[in-house]
């Protein structure tokens, strides 16, 4: 890749939740961790890194697709090198949400705190490469923002705190307003190419089927409805920010429909199991419930499964989704 070319991407910086957390939660006091087997069993060296999957997560696959590097490391990794920082890191934290309460409930890094860590990292980048080069990196890098599913699944539907005061319409307003503030702050720090992931069909992940899907473990329609409502609002927020900041490329990335299509037609994409995760019984295990103790029940061939645990897709499913996303949206950033 020629560094001077207009399509070159010098770095990728990532914000959000467990879909793009490569291990930041390993280094904070929270129960939401996965730095133990069988997580990471298909990652390089078969080591659990704190990624909430069996292998690469979307931030890694997107960095590969944009020609940046093979993996996007966690900013809080004590072994992080200056070169890692200059080519981009992830500040994401599993169980995070746009709603500040979501991160508080799980004791994880909020969107505001992730932004503060990014500002801290900019000081280090400037010290290494100077003001001018830092400005250049900022204007050409891709910024990934992926959050919102934990607001819906964990905070709204699993705790009483917000439902007392908000119906789903006003709660998705709270989420989209928070997303808007975050994106404006990110722009304010210098980000110009920003990919904002939609919420997924969260009602179709195995844990939500188990909790809310009845005897047949159907998708939970209230959760999916909330995700669609939020996506509609997020999309319009991004539309208005694109007008407000004409020198930016802020792109709404629909992952709801591609993932739903995968879940509804698994065999079309080479998968066999769409309603259970590979880990343990696949119905409810996630994070600290998905451990070596569940090994006897854990699937042998995770390439046949869309979900690795009851909440997070497998690397194989992520590869299908990220390929679709890159095909559809990559040119929007240049």
> Which residues neighbour 208 within 8 Å (Cβ) at sequence distance 6 or greater?
153, 202, 219, 220, 223
| Cα–Cα dist 81/86, whole Å | 9
From 17, 18, 53, 207, active-site residue: 18
Close Cβ partners of 333 (under 8 Å, ≥ 6 residues apart): 9, 142, 193, 195, 249, 251
Residue 309 annotated to the active site: yes
Catalytic residue (one of 110, 151, 207, 312)? 312
18 given a catalytic annotation: yes
CB 159 within 8 A of CB 153: no
Active site residue 139: no
Query: Is the distance from CB of 94 to CB of 21 less than 8 angstroms?
Result: yes
214: left (phi over 0), alpha (psi -120 to 50) or beta: left
Residues 6+ apart with CB under 8 A from 159: 105
* Cβ-contact 12, 62 below 8 angstroms: yes
**286-318: burial string, b at 16+ Cβ within 10 Å, e else:** bbeebbeebeeebbeebbebbbbbbbbbbbbbb
- Which residue out of 287, 302, 309, 310 is catalytically annotated? 309
Instruction: Compute the distance between CA of residue 77 and CA of residue 99 in angstroms, rounded to an integer.
Output: 25
| Alpha-carbon span 142 to 187, nearest angstrom | 12
Backbone torsion region of residue 110, taken as left when φ is above 0, otherwise alpha when ψ lies between -120 and 50, otherwise beta: beta
**Catalytic residue numbers?**
18, 309, 312
């Amino acid at each position: 890749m020629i560094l001077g070319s207009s399509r070159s991407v010098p770095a990728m910086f990532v914000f959000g939740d467990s879909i793009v957390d490569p291990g930041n939660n390993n280094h904070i006091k929270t129960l939401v961790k996965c730095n133990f087997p069988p997580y990471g069993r298909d990652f390089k060296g078969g080591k659990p890194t704190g990624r909430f999957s069996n292998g690469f997560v979307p931030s890694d696959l997107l960095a590969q697709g944009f020609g940046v590097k093979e993996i996007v490391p966690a900013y809080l990794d004590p072994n992080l090198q200056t070169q890692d920082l200059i080519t981009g890191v992830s500040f994401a934290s599993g169980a995070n949400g746009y709603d500040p309460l979501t991160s508080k409930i799980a004791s994880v890094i909020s969107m505001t705190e992730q932004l503060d860590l990014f500002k801290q990292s900019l000081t280090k980048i400037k010290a290494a490469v100077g003001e001018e080069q830092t400005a250049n990196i900022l204007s050409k890098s891709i910024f990934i923002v992926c959050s919102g599913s934990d607001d819906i699944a964990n905070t709204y539907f699993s705790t009483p705190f917000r439902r007392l005061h908000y119906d789903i319409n006003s709660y998705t307003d709270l989420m989209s307003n928070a997303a808007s503030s975050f994106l404006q702050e990110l722009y304010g720090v210098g980000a110009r190419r920003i990919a904002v992931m939609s919420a997924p069909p969260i009602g179709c992940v195995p844990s939500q089927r188990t909790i809310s899907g009845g005897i047949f473990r159907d998708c939970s329609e209230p959760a999916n409805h909330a995700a669609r409502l939020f996506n509609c609002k997020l999309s319009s927020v991004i539309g208005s920010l694109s007008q407000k900041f004409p020198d930016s490329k802020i792109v709404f990335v629909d992952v709801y429909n591609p993932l739903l299509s995968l879940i509804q037609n698994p065999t079309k994409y080479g998968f066999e199991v769409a309603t259970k995760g590979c880990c343990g019984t696949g119905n409810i295990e996630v994070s600290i419930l998905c451990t070596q103790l569940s090994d006897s029940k854990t699937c042998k061939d995770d390439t046949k499964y869309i979900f690795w645990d009851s909440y997070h897709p497998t690397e194989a499913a992520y590869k299908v989704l990220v390929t679709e996303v890159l095909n559809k949206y990559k040119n929007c950033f240049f």
